[in-house]
């Protein structure tokens, strides 16, 4: 093989360049990212000749460590690239002065070119260097690591874990194997958030101030919610509700309000089942205008018309909700996933939501809808009506767990209802439940007797019973005291007797309330989460701001100039 050192000139009378032979040797080129003074030290930073040979044979990466002796040094990765190069050796003999060693310039000295071989592989370092951290040489962890690498048995055997009483100022920040997995530069592609606008807001003095306004910021849904134990019943919304912005939203608010005329308490699922599909997007908008919600208790997650206290009258027991959510089993989740994989992803989605009426009704025959919570009035299954329609199972005052139902009655109702609900979900058919009232009369009698003996703690319900009984006795004692003061002679003696009776009753109540702890009843886990509504969630992203934000937005609308 031969190499032309220069290009041949055209036919101008010049002699052609000489032919230079090319040796058959092959070389590896390393584009070292640094100034190399000693080649042997540079090769050590690459792991040595053996590491280079192994990486070349396996077409693997070459690791460059500037601190070759530091085991915690993070490498820079280099890649092998196919190249087509020639390794040329260019030499020229020069003369030097014997006294000073200075090179004597002689332009007539010829240059000699020698092609040593070809370069078919080149190592290039284009990766970003990782962050580096130098661990002190006296650190015990570093010494242990070095001993493990060097096979120093004595140091390994003598190593002891530092005590807690050691120097706490030394944090011993041992670096991880890599601080960042990114080793190649990339374009971040920063872009300003499109909903954020730069605006000029006019100030009271007439000047302008630059501000950033986020047009799509999330705002609350302005729900008025209370806990079961709260005594303050909302008569109207606790938020400054904004007027509807569209005609469809206004119609949705009116449609929801019409439902609360005939029925004072609704679950969200029942509202959705009885509302036209075109209004589903504005369900929350309509609900906050007409009702408040309970966060705990027998009417949890139900919407109650403003001004109505369901705890005050037993007639509202039919609106209590029963939660039948089940803990998912492993097989059930796998079955759901497998069914999803069978669905054709190319099937077009309907443009409008499908309206399925009466999904909030549990009749024991139809497969339940997407909700696992039902109100008592929506349970029409004949197997359960002997309990839900029987006034003998209703108390005069509610409790947090069972509402107006006796505890044993509510547990029986929920257990059997959950059983049938599960059968309908799993198989599509449910076994009838005969004689659901069997033994309830005896259970109620025992429960009433247990109240008297103060032997059962119904998660705080018995405390409510004792408080109610105590309040009744206290009111009676107070009335007797007031009557005694109107009698003239002997009134002070009678008042003293009434006061003594009051103190005795108070002591007995406090004593009984201190000994009313029992084990918790065995109930299924009930999650306190509201059902997810995808369409409603999308609508909530565009809810309007609160009152203070309204004023600021109004100011911006009036006094803002858009900036380019």
The domain segmentation of the chain, as residue ranges, is: 2-124, 135-185, 225-339+354-513
DSSP 370-423: S--EEEGGGB--TTTHHHHT-GGGEEEEEETTTEEE-HHHHHHHHHHHHHHHHH
To the nearest whole percent, how much of the chain has pLDDT over 70? Answer: 69
pLDDT at 470: 46
Residue pLDDT, tens place only, 496-548: 565 566 556 555 545 444 443 333 333 333 333 333 343 444 444 444 444 44
pTM above 0.75, yes or no: no
pLDDT at 111: 85
Mean pLDDT, to the nearest integer, of 180-209? 85
The three-state (H, E, C) secondary structure of 34-100, written as one string: CCCCCHHHHHHHCCHHHHHHHHHHHCCCEEECCCCCCCCCCCEEEEEEEEEEEEEEEECCCEECCCC
pLDDT at 143: 84
Q: Say if residue 492's pLDDT is above 90.
A: no
pLDDT at 123: 94
Residue pLDDT, tens place only, 56-69: 999 899 999 999 88
Which of 57-61, 190-194, 204-208, 286-290 is predicted with the least confidence, judged by mean pLDDT?
190-194
Q: Is the alpha carbon torsion for 326, 331, 336, 337 positive or negative?
A: positive
pLDDT at 459: 45
Q: Is the alpha carbon torsion for 271, 276, 282, 287 positive or negative?
A: negative
Question: How high is the mean pLDDT of the chain?
Answer: 76
Using CA atoms, how far apart are residues 562 and 550, in angstroms rounded to an integer? 19
Residue pLDDT, tens place only, 228-240: 999 999 999 998 8
Residue with tokens 């002796």: 69
pLDDT at 337: 44
**Class in CATH terms, 2-124:** alpha beta
Residue pLDDT, tens place only, 105-158: 777 788 888 899 999 999 999 888 899 888 888 888 888 888 888 888 888 888
Residue pLDDT, tens place only, 466-478: 445 445 544 555 4
Angle between helices 407-426 and 440-453 (to 10 degrees): 140
């Amino acid at each position: 093989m031969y190499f032309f050192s220069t290009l041949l000139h055209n036919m101008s009378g010049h002699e052609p360049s000489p032919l230079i032979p090319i040796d058959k040797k092959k070389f590896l080129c390393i584009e070292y990212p640094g100034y190399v003074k000693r080649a042997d030290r540079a090769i050590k930073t690459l792991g040595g000749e053996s590491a280079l040979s192994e990486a070349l044979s396996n077409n693997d990466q070459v690791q460059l460590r500037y601190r070759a002796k530091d085991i915690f040094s993070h490498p820079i990765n280099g890649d092998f690239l196919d190249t087509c190069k020639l390794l040329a050796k260019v030499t020229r003999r020069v003369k030097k002065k014997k006294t000073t060693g200075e090179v004597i310039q002689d332009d007539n000295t010829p240059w000699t070119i020698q092609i040593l071989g070809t370069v078919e592989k080149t190592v290039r370092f284009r990766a970003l260097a990782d962050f580096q951290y130098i661990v002190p040489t006296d650190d015990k962890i570093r010494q242990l690591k070095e001993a493990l690498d060097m096979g120093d048995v004595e140091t390994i055997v003598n190593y002891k874990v530092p005590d807690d009483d050691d120097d706490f100022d030394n944090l011993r920040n041992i670096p991880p194997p890599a601080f960042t997995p990114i080793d190649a530069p990339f374009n971040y592609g920063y872009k300003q958030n499109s909903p954020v606008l730069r605006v000029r807001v006019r100030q009271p003095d007439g000047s302008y101030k630059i501000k950033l306004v986020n047009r799509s910021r999330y705002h609350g849904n302005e729900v008025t919610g209370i806990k079961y134990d709260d005594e303050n019943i909302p008569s109207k919304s606790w938020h400054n509700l904004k007027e509807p912005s569209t005609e469809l939203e206004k119609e949705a608010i009116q449609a929801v309000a019409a439902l609360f005329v005939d029925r004072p308490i609704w679950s969200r699922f029942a509202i959705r089942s009885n509302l036209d599909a075109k209004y589903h997007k504005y369900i929350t908008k309509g609900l906050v205008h007409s009702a408040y919600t309970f966060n705990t208790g027998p009417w949890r997650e139900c919407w109650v018309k403003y001004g109505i206290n369901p705890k005050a009258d037993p007639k509202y027991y039919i609106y209590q909700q029963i939660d039948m959510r089940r803990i998912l089993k492993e097989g059930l989740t796998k079955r759901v996933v497998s069914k999803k994989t069978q669905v054709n992803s190319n099937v077009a989605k309907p443009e409008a939501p499908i309206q399925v009426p009466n999904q909030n009704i549990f009749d024991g025959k139809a497969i339940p809808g997407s909700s696992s919570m039902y109100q008592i009035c929506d349970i029409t299954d004949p197997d359960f009506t002997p309990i839900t329609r029987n006034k003998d199972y209703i108390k005069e005052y509610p409790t947090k767990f069972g509402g107006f139902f006796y505890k044993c009655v509510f547990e029986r109702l929920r257990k059997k209802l959950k059983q049938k609900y599960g059968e309908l979900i799993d198989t599509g058919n449910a076994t009838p439940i005969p004689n659901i009232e069997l033994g309830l009369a005896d259970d109620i009698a025992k429960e009433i007797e247990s109240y008297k003996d103060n032997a059962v703690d119904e998660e705080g319900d018995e405390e409510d019973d004792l408080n109610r009984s105590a309040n009744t006795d206290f009111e009676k004692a107070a009335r007797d005291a007031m009557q005694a003061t109107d009698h003239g002679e002997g009134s002070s003696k009678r008042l003293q007797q009434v006061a003594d009776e009051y103190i005795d009753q108070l002591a007995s109540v406090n004593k009984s309330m201190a000994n009313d702890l029992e084990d918790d009843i065995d109930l299924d886990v009930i999650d306190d989460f509201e059902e997810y509504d995808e369409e409603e969630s999308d609508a909530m992203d565009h809810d309007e701001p609160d009152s203070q934000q309204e004023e600021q937005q109004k100011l911006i609308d009036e006094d803002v100039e858009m900036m380019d």
